[in-house]
Amino acid sequence: MGYLDNSSITVDAILTKKGRELLARGRNEFNITQFALSDDEVDYDLWNPDHPLGTAYYGTVIENLPLTEAVPDDTQVMKYKLVTLPKSTVRIPVVNIGNTAVTLVQGQTYPITPSTINFPSSNQTFGYTAILSDSDAAFLSVNQAAPQAALASIPAFIGDTEAATTVSVVGLSFTLTAKPQPLADRIATITVIGNETGGRATLTLTVKKQTTATATN
């Protein structure tokens, strides 16, 4: 881990594997059209309204926090993205998916239709990202595609261990379909995130163990 010198404004950027591939092709294929900002490194608990030197110093500690170097692994960074909201917005939009828990059996389906409280017209262009923590528990499919899903900056913030079994999709609505569980009940989580406004909601999924009927003579 390295740190940037925060005595001056510095932009430190490194390319992902995909970025390097596009740059190597040439012919203007490497063309940045969108970017996202986040404040993962900021600890807002350090905001000090009791600072003896007055309001100009409330955020001094935050402003002097060291910045970590750029990391190309999007599963480890950009967890808390900054969003642009209308000036009149007085409440942070909240993603709502209805229930917080659901229990299914093999083959049973469950629809997920996210909405954004306090900002109903948002997330209709880039949609929502739905992340299923365990692909052995269920299938996760898109019911209604987002108009510009391919351009969405998709959050993935999971650990390396879970990456192999995690499924992420982008859309406006989704469907869960439970997979067979021959040995035991399986529990997974589905996290739904607004790609335009931020905010997230989590659903706990339980898929029940298969039961086999027995006949007596």
What is the three-class DSSP state of 126?
coil
> Which one of 21, 38, 72 terminates a domain?
72
Q: 81 or 20: which carries more pLDDT confidence?
A: 20
- 1: confidence class by pLDDT, cuts 50, 70, 90: very low
Same domain, yes or no, for 99 and 189?
A: yes
Domain for residue 65, yes or no?
yes
Q: Give 170-215 pLDDT, tens digit per residue.
A: 999 999 999 999 989 999 999 998 888 878 899 999 999 987 666 5
Could you tell me how far CA 12 lies from the centroid of its own chain? Answer: 23
Exposure of 209 in the CB half-sphere (CA atoms within 13 A): 7
Q: Give 79-102 pLDDT, tens digit per residue.
A: 677 777 777 777 778 899 999 999
**Which one-letter DSSP state was computed for residue 198?**
-
154 to each of 151, 189, 198, how far by Cα in Å? 9, 18, 11
Report how many domains make up the chain: 2
Tokens of 186: 């399986």
Q: What is the pTM of this model?
A: 0.67
Residue 168 neighbours by CB under 8 Å, 6+ apart: 129, 130, 131, 132, 154, 156
Question: 172 lies in which domain range?
Answer: 94-207
Query: In this predicted structure, what is the pLDDT of residue 132?
Result: 93
